């Protein structure tokens, strides 16, 4: 049986995987006030748990790209989804900070791999004029997952388990609601594996794909480099200049998106006085992120169809979004939660539009046989930036600690101790000000590095 437009069905599956990925990741941050209370975690403990996840995420990024290139997209994606789903389910049984760290480390090892796999899937299934839109679609899956997560997770926390599901109370006792959230979201990932196994093969190996679609995928701008050529060795990868430009650009800018995923809910409760139930309003932020990912990818695709080169189209869209980022400080300054959320929505819309286009730029500038490896190293810069952000924000909002420093705190104190002392206790407003300048700085870095003169690799 042939399925018309099979490449779009493949992206739907990647979209669903991305949605599950973000629901699993967001469970901790969205329920942080409740979980911190149950496990006696302060904000520094919370930052360390986030960073343990990101350390594993960074390690996984560095090796998962090679795994994708060697195992292929079908088998590697299967491995990643099963790993992170089981890890998330096991989080339901944590009993303290140490066991939470172990569970989140395991989750990070699994979750990172979906992104280099997804980028390689796009390079295999889509010509350059459709890539940014395809990336926008599957990235919107992550934002849709984050959009539905607040209401869904808060409902699980507030459910009357003692009366309606006493078995869960018997199994988990304290914290049954948030523990059930981890268990059920992980189970959903295992169910996703079934359609993936049935439907996914590479285009020429897929019995569902029409000859017409294969010809469309193999158009002129997609044929100069094939996945049959040997993948680059580490020396070739690490001496590829665009890799380093893109890595530092993501190190500067991705912390903005990580902040909204991991800290914005806490900002709303600490600075705006919202309760755990009221934080469901964050669905607006993630809906704006989804719109930004879709619109940003679509507009750069329109520019390419009108004759602009893929690299210049991405850069033009990134310029437009960077110009919106100076709105960030107003999030902390405006009066009223409605205005706060409106300004936040605009900033997050721009953030995701930027992210989609810089992700497409990585695919555009990388030979298909090594997309996974190059993407994973670039993305490691993203998580390093997020780790630094977590430590900075934790110091900004917590002030001097009365507890002994953990190993991450000690490491950062040794490296950037004077900076952390300077910003200690400055509050969230200082971080919103910093975020105003990160995207413009990254755009300048890319421009001066000559990425705009780089020709796209098919």
Tell me the per-residue pLDDT of 421-432, one tens digit each, with 9 for 90 and over. 676 777 888 899
pLDDT at 425: 72
pLDDT at 143: 76
Identify the residue whose tokens are 């990585």: 362
Q: Which residue in 197, 215, 216, 210 sits closest to 2, CA to CA?
A: 210
Task: Read off the tokens for 97.
Answer: 């900070």
Task: Read off the tokens for 310.
Answer: 């893929």
Give the number of other CB atoms < 10 A from CB of residue 158: 12
Per-residue pLDDT tens for 66-105? 888 888 899 999 999 999 999 999 998 888 889 999 999 9
Q: How far is CA 16 from CA 79, 130, 139, 337, in A?
A: 16, 19, 10, 31
Residue ranges of the chain with per-residue pLDDT less than 50: 220-227, 458
**DSSP result, 65-130:** HHHHHHH-HHHHHHHHHHHHHHHHHHGGG--SHHHHHHHHHHHHHHHTTHHHHHHHHHHHH--HHH
Q: Which residue in 256, 269, 184 sits closest to 437, CA to CA?
A: 256
pLDDT at 438: 96
Task: Read off the tokens for 49.
Answer: 């748990």
pLDDT at 392: 85
pLDDT at 220: 44
Q: Are 298 and 357 in contact (CB under 8 A)?
A: no
* pTM, full prediction: 0.71
Domains and CATH numbers, the chain: 6-217+236-452 (1.20.1250.20)
Cα 353 → chain centroid: 13
Per-residue pLDDT tens for 216-268? 887 644 444 444 567 788 788 888 888 999 999 999 999 999 899 888 988 99
Q: Which residue in 111, 114, 104 sits closest to 53, CA to CA?
A: 104
pLDDT at 386: 86
pLDDT at 177: 81
């Amino acid at each position: 049986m042939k399925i018309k437009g099979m490449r779009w069905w493949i992206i739907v599956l990647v979209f669903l995987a991305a949605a599950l990925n973000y629901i699993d990741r967001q469970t901790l941050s969205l329920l942080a006030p409740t979980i911190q209370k149950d496990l006696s975690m302060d904000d520094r403990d919370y930052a360390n748990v986030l960073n343990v996840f990101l350390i594993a995420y960074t390690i996984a990024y560095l090796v998962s790209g090679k795994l994708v290139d060697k195992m292929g997209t079908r088998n590697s994606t299967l491995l990643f989804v099963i790993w992170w789903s089981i890890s998330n389910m096991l989080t339901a049984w944590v009993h303290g900070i140490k066991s939470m760290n172990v569970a989140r480390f395991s989750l990070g090892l699994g979750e990172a791999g979906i992104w280099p796999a997804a980028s390689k899937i796009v390079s295999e299934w889509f010509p350059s004029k459709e890539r940014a839109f395809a990336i926008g679609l599957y990235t919107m899956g992550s934002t849709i997952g984050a959009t539905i997560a607040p209401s869904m997770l808060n409902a699980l926390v507030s459910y009357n388990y003692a009366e309606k599901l006493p078995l869960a109370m018997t199994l988990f006792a304290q914290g049954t609601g948030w523990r059930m959230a981890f268990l059920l979201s992980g189970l959903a990932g295992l169910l996703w594996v079934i359609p993936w196994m049935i439907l996914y093969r590479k285009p020429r190996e897929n019995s569902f794909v029409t000859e017409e679609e294969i010809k469309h995928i193999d158009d002129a701008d997609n044929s100069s480099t094939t996945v049959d050529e040997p993948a680059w060795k580490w020396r070739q990868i690490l001496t590829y200049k665009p890799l380093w430009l893109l890595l530092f650009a993501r190190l500067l800018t991705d912390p903005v998106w990580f902040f909204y995923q991991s800290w914005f809910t806490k900002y709303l409760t600490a600075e705006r006085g919202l309760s755990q139930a009221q934080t469901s309003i964050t669905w607006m932020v993630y809906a704006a992120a989804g719109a930004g990912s879709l619109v940003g990818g679509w507009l750069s695709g329109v520019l390419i169809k009108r004759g602009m080169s893929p690299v210049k189209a991405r850069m033009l869209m990134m310029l437009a979004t960077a110009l919106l980022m100076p709105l960030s400080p107003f999030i902390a300054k405006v009066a009223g939660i409605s205005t706060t959320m409106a300004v936040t929505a605009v900033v997050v819309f721009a953030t995701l539009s930027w992210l989609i286009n810089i992700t497409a730029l990585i695919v555009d500038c990388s030979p298909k046989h090594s997309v996974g490896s190059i993407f994973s190293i670039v993305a490691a810069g993203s998580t390093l930036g997020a780790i630094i952000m977590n430590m900075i924000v934790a110091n900004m909002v917590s002030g001097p600690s009365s507890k002994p420093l953990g190993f991450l705190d000690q490491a950062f104190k040794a490296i950037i101790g004077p900076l952390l002392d300077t910003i200690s206790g400055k509050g969230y407003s200082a971080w919103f000000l910093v975020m105003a300048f990160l995207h413009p700085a990254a755009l300048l870095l890319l421009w001066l590095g000559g990425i705009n003169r780089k020709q796209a690799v098919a």
